Structure 1
Amino acid sequence: MTDNSLRSVTVERTGTGQFVATNTRGGTVGFGTGSGPDGEAGFTPVELLLAAIGGCTAVDVDVATSRHAEPTRFSVAVSGNKINDEHGNRMTDLTVTFSVTFPDGEGAERARAIVPRAVKTSHDRLCTVSRTIEIGTPVTAIVEEA
C-alpha cells in the first residue's frame, strides 16, 4: 500500500445520537439517528451508505458523459431493504437506478450512448464503494484505552 491509497475520516459526537464526519480536506457531513434534538431530518448511517453507493457511480458516469454534453437531468435513486437475520442487521436487494437525459444538440447523442457503458464500467470495476460491498471486506473494530 502506498501513502496515496489511505482514505480516512474522523467521526465526532456532537450531541445525543448526532455526529459529524470530517475528511482530511476539511469537508464535513452531519448524520445520526435520523432525527436530531430539534427534530431535523438528518441522514442516518444507512442513508449515507446508499448515497455513497449512488454517488460513486454518479461521479464516474458524469465524468464520462458531461465532456460530450451537459445533462438536463441527472438523478440516481438508490434503495435496498434493511433486514435482521442470522447475520444481524444488514441491507439486501440494493438497487441503483440512473435517470439521465441530455438536450438535443452536439454531443448529446454520444453522451446518451455512453451512459449504459459508463454505469456498467463503474459498477464492474471503478466504483470503490459498491466494489467493496459486493466483494465483501472485513471491518476491524478497535477500542483504544482511555
Structure 2
Amino acid sequence: MSENSLRLVTVDRTAPGRFTATNTRGGTIDFGTAVGGGTEFTPVELLLAAIGGCTAADVDVATTRHAEPDGFTVTVTGNKVSDELGNRMTDLAVTFAVTFPEGEAGDRARAILPRAVTVSHDRLCTVSRTVETGTPVTATIKDA
C-alpha cells in the first residue's frame, strides 16, 4: 500500500434514520433509511450511485478527449434479496446511454466508447472491482 492509499469518510447520525457522510476534504452527503418517505438516498442507492459514478468518470475521461457528449446517462440496477446469505444485492447491471455529435470527433468518441466501458469495468473502477472481487469488511466498536 502506498502512503496515499487510505480513503476515509465519517458518518454522523443527524436524526432518526438520517445521516451525513463527510469526506476528508469537507464534502458532505445526506442519506437516510427511507423510513417516513424521505427523499434522501438510501445506503443501497448510494452503492448503486458509486458503481455508476465510478465507471461514468472513467468513460467520461476517455471519450471526452475526442468529443463532448450530447447526452451521457448511466443507469445502475440490481435486485435486493434476503436469503440464507443475508441481505444483499444481486444482478447488478450498469447501462450506458451516451450520444456524441456528428462528425469526425464524435465518430472517434463513439469508436472508443465500448473499449472505455470495458476497461473501466475490467480494470479501472475501484468501486465495481471491489464489489466483484469481494473484500472483507470488519466492524468494530471503539472503546468509549
User: What is the aligned counterpart of 2:92 among 87, 91, 94?
Assistant: 94
After superposition, the C-alpha distances for 1:11-55 in whole angstroms (9 at most, x for unaligned) are 01111000000111111111011256xx53110000000000011
Distance 1:118 1:110 in 2: 12
After superposition, the C-alpha distances for 1:106-142 in whole angstroms (9 at most, x for unaligned) are 4110000111100000000000000000000000001
Alignment correspondent of 1:9: 9
Unaligned runs of 5+ in 1: none
Alignment correspondent of 1:30: 30
> How far apart are 1:97 and its partner, in Å?
0.2
SS in 2 for 1:52: helix
For the Cα contact (< 8 Å) 1:69–1:108, is it kept in 2? yes
> How far apart are 1:67 and its partner, in Å?
1.3
Unaligned runs of 5+ in 2: none
For the Cα contact (< 8 Å) 2:52–2:94, is it kept in 1? yes
Distance 2:73 2:58 in 1: 13
TM score, norm. by length of structure 2: 0.96
For 1:1-146, list aligned pairs within 5 A: 1-35=1-35, 39-146=37-144
1:33 aligned partner, one-letter code: T
For the Cα contact (< 8 Å) 1:69–1:106, is it kept in 2? no
2:68 aligned partner, one-letter code: E
RMSD across aligned C-alpha pairs, in angstroms? Answer: 1.0
Distance 2:132 2:139 in 1: 20
For the Cα contact (< 8 Å) 2:32–2:38, is it kept in 1? no
Stretches (4+) displaced over 3 A: none
Percent identity for Structure 1 against Structure 2: 72
Between Structure 1 and Structure 2, how many residues are aligned? Answer: 144
TM score, norm. by length of structure 1: 0.95
